Amino acid sequence: MAERSLVEQKLALSRELIGQLKADEAPLLAAYWELPAEKDRWIFYLVPRSPEAENKLVKATSKVMITSPYRSVFSLSDVYVDAHQIARARAIASYLRSSEDLGRQFDTTFTRGEYFESVIVLYVDPELQKAHHAA
């Protein structure tokens, strides 16, 4: 029961963190939780708009993460700001059919050359989503 409650709390705070980053105009392209096949835990990826914007997103995220309640819920190994995830974020954005897919868990998904064992997409930049649906 406590584990389920912590999972729900992390998901809720993830959404709040995304909202705060967007309000702060941080360069956020996408945000998703992933359970990589080679790991035994979920990782929350915050994906910058470009490799050059990674440092700015790290600073914006750090500024929020040191405040309560984030610092008491997330461990240091939970949240990664990673520009190497840009291609994966674009792939998963192309997989989403509508905004109703946000927050839903996808298992064993292969799209645009990227493999996702388990992923919960919480945010995709509207322009990125629009570009994939126009194509």
> Average pLDDT of 95-113?
81
Q: Identify the DSSP state of 48.
A: E
The count of domains in the chain is 1
Taking only the tens place, the pLDDT of each residue in 63-77 is 999 999 998 889 878
Backbone angles phi, psi at 33, to 5 degrees: -95, 140
Q: What pTM was estimated for this model as a whole?
A: 0.88
Type of residue found at 33: W
User: What is the strand order of the sheet 114-124 is part of?
Assistant: 79-81, 43-48, 28-34, 114-124, 105-111
**Domain assignment of residue 64, given as a range:** 2-134
